Copies of this chain bind each other. A is one copy, B any other.
C-alpha cells in the first residue's frame, strides 16, 4: 500500500493555489545552429526522423505553468524515480501539419486533439488544460511548425506528424497525483501510410487479449493503452496479420470495438435492409478519434446513413454469411483509412469485400479523398469552424 491520502490532500491544496496558465506570449525560442535538410520523401519512415525543434512547458503544483520554450530537439534530463517512468503517468496526441498547394502551412483539427489531451491528462491524474491553455498550446504548436517549416514535406499524402505529449515528472515512489509535469511536442516528417495506393490489411480477431474495459482508460489517449498492445500485436504479426481486431467478451458474444490503434467502421446492409455505416459508440471502450469524428460528420453532411451503436461479432458474422457486409476499414490520423480484406477468428479466415484493383471499398476511398483534400485546404469542411487552419 503506497501512501496516498496525505499526498492527495497536499496536491489538492496546491491545486487550489495554482494560478499560472499557459501563456504563449512568454515563449522563449532557442534555435538550432545546425538545421537539418529534409531527406527525399521516399526515405521517411514513420516516427524515426525528428524535426530540429521541440516545444517544452513545465508545470508544478506550486507555480503552475512555466514559460514555454522552443529549443533544439534533444534529450531530457529526468530523475529515475519520476512517475512517468514508474506508473505510466503519461499521455499523448497524434495530429498533422501540411503544406498546401500554395505552400502555406496548415494544421487539421488540432483544437480537437488538445481538447482530448485535457481529458487524457485529467484521467492520468495530471492537471487538465483549460480552454485558454488549449488555445495557447494551439498557438505554440503552430509556431513550432512555422519554425520547422523546412521539415514539412511538400507533396500530397506527406505531412509533419505532431506528437504533443505530457509526462509526470514528480520525483517520488508514492502513488499520488504528480506535483510536476512536463508537456512537450516533438514532430516528425512522415509519408503517406500507403505509398503506392491502398493495400488492404488482414486482421486477427482476438478473443485472448482485450484493449479496454468498463471503468478503465479505453476512451483516453494514455500510454497505458498502447504498450500493453505490443505483445499481442507481435503474436498477431507472427501469424501473418497486420492488426488485431479488438473484441470485448460479453456473455457468449463479443462487442466489436477497435482495430489496432484505430477506430473501426463497417459498411453493411443491416437487419432492417438499410445500408448503414456503423462504428462503436463513444463511451468507455473506444477512443474519440478525430478521423472517426470527421468520417461521421462528412457522412451526415453527404447523406450517408451512419450509426454509432454497440455491435456484436455474431451480428457481423451473420451479415457476412448473408453477404450483407459491404466493406470494413480502420480510421486514424496516421493512415486516415485502412481498408480490411480479411479477418481471422478462431482459425477461420473470413473474406471481406474489397475492390482488389483499388485496394479499398468505395466508402474508404471516398473518405480518404475527402479528408485528404480538407486537410490540405483544397475542399471546405462540413463544419461551421474550418477544420483546416492556415498557420
Contact = CB atoms under 8 A, between A and B. Distances in A.
Interface residues of A, number: 87
Interface string A208-241: 1110011111000011111111110110011000
Contacts of A113: none
B165 A45 contact: no
B175 A188 contact: no
A243 B1 contact: yes
Given A12-B238, A216-B213, A223 B88 contact: yes
A160 interface: no
Contact of A210 (B84, B213, B238): B213
A40 B301 CA distance: 69
Interface of A: 1-5, 8-9, 11-12, 45-48, 50, 54, 73, 75-81, 83-90, 92, 122-125, 161, 163, 165, 167-168, 171-177, 184, 186, 188, 193, 201, 206, 208-210, 213-217, 222-231, 233-234, 237-238, 242-243, 249, 260-262, 330, 332, 334-335, 338
B86 A237 contact: no
B210 A45 contact: no
B234 A174 contact: no
A47 to B, nearest CB: 3
Closest 9 CB pairs of A and B: A47-B173, A125-B230, A224-B224, A88-B223, A210-B215, A213-B213, A88-B88, A87-B226, A87-B227
A181 to B, nearest CB: 12
Given A4-B233, A4-B260, A260-B4, A80 B165 contact: yes
Given A175-B230, A224-B223, A186 B80 contact: yes
Contacts of A228: 88, 123-124, 216-217, 222, 224
